[in-house]
Amino acid sequence: MWSWIKRGSFKRKIFGYMFLLSIVPLLVLGTFSTLNTAKVVQKEVDHNHQIILRQFQYQINDFLKKLESASLQLASNIVIEKSVKTGLASSDLSQTFAAIDTLQKLRTYSDINLDVSLIYTKFQKVFSTKDGYINQADFAYNELVKRTGYKYDRATIIPPNQAQGLNELLVVRPVPTFNEVAPDGVVVIHVQTERLIELFNQAQLGEGRKLLVIDDKGTIVMSQDSRELGSKLTPSSELYSFWQNPESFATAFTLDGIHYNLSSQKSAMNQWTYIALTPTKELSRKSDNIKYVTWSLVGLLALLWLLLSLIGSNRLYHPIQRLLHKFSSDDKPGRGNKDGLEALDSIYQHMAKANERLRSELSEQMPFWKEAFVQQLLRGEMSEADIRGKLEQHSVPLRGAYFYVCLVDVDEYGRFKQQYLENDRALLLYALRKMVEEIAEESFSCMTASPIPGQVAIIAGVDKANETTDQALEALADEFRSKVRQYFQFTVTVSVSRAKRGYGGIGEACQEALDLLGYRLLMGHDVNISQRVIEPSIRQSSSSLLHGQKKIVMALAKGDLDEANAQLEQMMHIVPQYVHNSETALGLFAYLLGELDYLLQEWGQAPREWFEKDLYKQLYGMKSLNEVKEWLKQSVFPQAVQALQDANLPKRTKLVQHALFYIREHLETDLSLQQVADTIQVSPSQFSRMFKEETGLAFGDYVIEQRMEKAKEWLARTEMPIKDIAERLRYTTVQNFTRIFKQVTDVPPGQYRKQFRHQED
């Protein structure tokens, strides 16, 4: 063969080398496969065993969990507890029927075919869903349950066939549970062995496999052979040795004259051992089949490569035609007059034009991408590394070590919407954004976006942040407002955040600018708002008014009109002390309407369906505070309460919402589960359960979480001593507060404050 190739033509050499290079690996692979067949098959069997065992273990664990859950549900049921104390045949027939009904319901609604028996140990009686009301001595499992006993912290499982004629799996639990004193009763759930065998049939073992489940005492709990159920492994048997120590035992095993390969897996749930047995003859048959198939494939592939080598040696003489065939479609006019290289050049030119067209389309989409990118920056949804990568990739003009965020917000946006049609509004806001961009780009590296209708956000980057850059940005805000007054028929308010370090601080700066916009309620329209210009009195009045608004919304959510009206009266006394123009006062109540609108939407109600006229239009038509007060009390509040009461939310969700409102408003008091439960008029146990189901947190954990959030806010934003923070949040000692704070944040309070200030600097 080698000399035939060496003495042949170039075409023959190509054919020979291609054939040898293709056939030699096949021969090596075939030989290797046949030599390692047994090992591979064993690994496959072990792998399949593990899959089957895991699947079956999951089914059994799920099956047992359902039974244990059912037993716990009965053992902890208050009706069952009362029944075993007073007896089934007590004078209170309603209690008797309730107990029987509870047992029957469990059996009826369970997806497992089971029977339930309730032993009244004090009265020597048993009620069974199968046998009815009988004496304890006549109960088929009486002696077995006594002999086996039960555990007080979990259910006791008794395998089938532990007594003659008793072919059921038993789950036993005392009533009441978790009580180590002699119980008043015992719940017994029994399942027929046919149900256990069904589980084995669902496993689809196939190939003559056997599957055994052995408990921690060496008893065969489950098997597809009902005769094996309940039997105990003897120390002299090989299966007992494998059960005791699978790692030190050979995988070969003989049972009833049949050779098996073994695999096992132990359940962490109950220490039961799951053993899979596969007949060895199946493995040898598989090995022979694999060898036959392997060499058949080698022969077929050798023939195939012989054919491919012959074709390939011919085709390698025509590389240009092959490339042309791959890159072109059917012949077009003029194609036949070109040689292969010219045709390929034509194809490449076409690809270059297509690439240029794609670049053009990408350029058209770039503004939309930039808008989405800036929106993500403002929301703080990307890491510093991701931001830098996208900036470099798309050459976005946003550079600097520190970043400010300015929000240019249209004043009285509700009136703005009424004054202009939708298309006109879009054009005006587009013009506003372009004007803001042109002014800002002259002094700063910046990008803009429109987070919400009526608002333009500007991200401005600087290399160094100091008082000079702060003043420059506020001067820019003055220019914004001046230009808007000059060219438009509306005004804007501009909030300016403090400088934040790095791209990751843009989201925080945006949130600060949003918070500053809230002070517009007290400072009026067409103003600049920054941390520097907010007077302490304005901060205090804003806090009081916003706190009052939240109390009003909370009272309406609870359906308490009297409380809402009382809070409104207090608010009416505060407003004239701090608000000195009607527009600001009306803006304050417009904010209240917005909070109410948000609450209605969260509860699944559409405000337009409950209020015939536009609330904001009605509000801005009012002439006095007294008129606003009467309108809110007589019209808005009652309709809002009615809408909330008719909401489709489940009653449990409404109650938990009320509780969350109450908790957030009373963090500085001695909150207790009993106190909050009394507020929403449910029992503490019922409230604890519904609170965990709705929020995913225990009541105590939620209170700690909220208090720690409040503590972080005070540490970051105020100079309040840690001792005062601990006292206000109702901690008896600073050490106790510090320990809990460190558990939540991983750092003590003092270090948290230093880290935050360092980041600010």
Q: State the greatest distance between any 2 C-alpha atoms of the chain, in Å, as a whole number.
A: 113
Count other C-beta atoms under 10 Å from residue 49's C-beta. 22
Beta strand extents in 337-438 (DSSP E only)? 402-410
Beta bridge partners of 114: 191
The highest-confidence range among 324-328, 676-680, 725-729, by mean pLDDT, is 725-729
Helices 673-680, 699-717: crossing angle, 10 deg rounding: 100
What SS3 state is found at 493?
strand
pLDDT tens sequence across 348-392: 777 888 888 877 777 777 777 788 888 888 888 777 788 887 777
pLDDT tens sequence across 136-163: 888 888 888 888 887 777 788 888 877 7
- Cα separation, 625 vs 578, whole angstroms: 14
What are the C-alpha distances in Å from 732 to residues 461, 671, 723? 46, 14, 10
- pLDDT at residue 15 in the model: 63
Q: What angle do CA 527, 530, 535 make, to 5 degrees?
A: 90
The highest-confidence range among 372-376, 545-549, 675-679, by mean pLDDT, is 675-679
Inform me whether the pLDDT recorded for 341 exceeds 70. Answer: no
Q: State the burial class of residue 173 (Cβ atoms within 10 Å of its Cβ: 0-12, 13-18, 19+).
A: buried
- pLDDT at residue 116 in the model: 92
Find all residues with CB under 8 Å of 325, minimum gap 6, and list them: none
- Identify whether the C-beta of residue 210 lies closer than 8 Å to the C-beta of residue 201: no
Encoded amino acid at 603, one letter: W
Write out the DSSP string of 605-616.
--HHHH-SS-HH
- pLDDT at residue 478 in the model: 92
Nearest alpha-carbon partner for 541 in 563, 519, 525: 519
The highest-confidence range among 28-32, 94-98, 401-405, by mean pLDDT, is 401-405
Inform me whether the pLDDT recorded for 330 exceeds 60. Answer: no
Phi, psi of 424 (to 5 degrees): -65, -40
Inform me whether the pLDDT recorded for 541 exceeds 70. Answer: no
Structure tokens at 87: 């007896």
- Identify whether the C-beta of residue 219 lies closer than 8 Å to the C-beta of residue 213: no
pTM: 0.36
Q: State the burial class of residue 117 (Cβ atoms within 10 Å of its Cβ: 0-12, 13-18, 19+).
A: buried
Encoded amino acid at 430, one letter: Y
Q: Is residue 335 very low, low, confident or very high in pLDDT (cuts 50, 70, 90)? A: very low
What are the C-alpha distances in Å from 229 to residues 204, 213, 223, 242? 19, 9, 6, 19
- Cα separation, 441 vs 446, whole angstroms: 6
pLDDT tens sequence across 578-615: 665 566 677 778 878 887 887 777 677 777 667 767 78
Encoded amino acid at 208, one letter: G
What are the C-alpha distances in Å from 335 to residues 315, 331, 350, 351? 21, 6, 14, 17
- Cα separation, 284 vs 279, whole angstroms: 9
Mean pLDDT of the chain: 79
What are the C-alpha distances in Å from 616 to residues 410, 422, 483, 640? 16, 18, 27, 15
**Domains detected in the chain:** 76-196 (3.30.450.20), 380-529 (3.30.70.270), 536-760 (1.10.10.60)
Q: What is the DSSP letter of 686?
A: H
Beta strand extents in 398-540 (DSSP E only)? 402-410, 445-449, 455-462, 492-496, 500-501, 528-529
Residue 30 CA neighbour count, 13 Å, CB half: 18
> What average pLDDT does range 557-567 have in this prediction?
84
- Identify whether the C-beta of residue 22 lies closer than 8 Å to the C-beta of residue 308: yes
Phi, psi of 175 (to 5 degrees): -125, 125
Q: Is residue 337 very low, low, confident or very high in pLDDT (cuts 50, 70, 90)? A: very low
- Identify whether the C-beta of residue 238 lies closer than 8 Å to the C-beta of residue 253: yes
Beta bridge partners of 494: 408, 528
Inform me whether the pLDDT recorded for 178 exceeds 60. Answer: yes
- Answer with the residue of higher pLDDT: 93 or 707: 707
pLDDT tens sequence across 433-442: 899 889 988 8
- pLDDT at residue 319 in the model: 63
- Cα separation, 457 vs 566, whole angstroms: 39
- Identify whether the C-beta of residue 625 lies closer than 8 Å to the C-beta of residue 578: no
> What average pLDDT does range 76-80 have in this prediction?
87
Cα dihedral sign for 213, 219, 220, 222? Answer: negative
Residue with tokens 């592939």: 301
Residue with tokens 């009052």: 548
Residue with tokens 């009297």: 562
Could you give the percent of the chain with pLDDT greater than 90? 8
pLDDT tens sequence across 699-735: 999 999 999 988 998 888 788 888 989 998 989 898 9
Weakest-pLDDT range from 138-152, 424-438, 643-657: 643-657
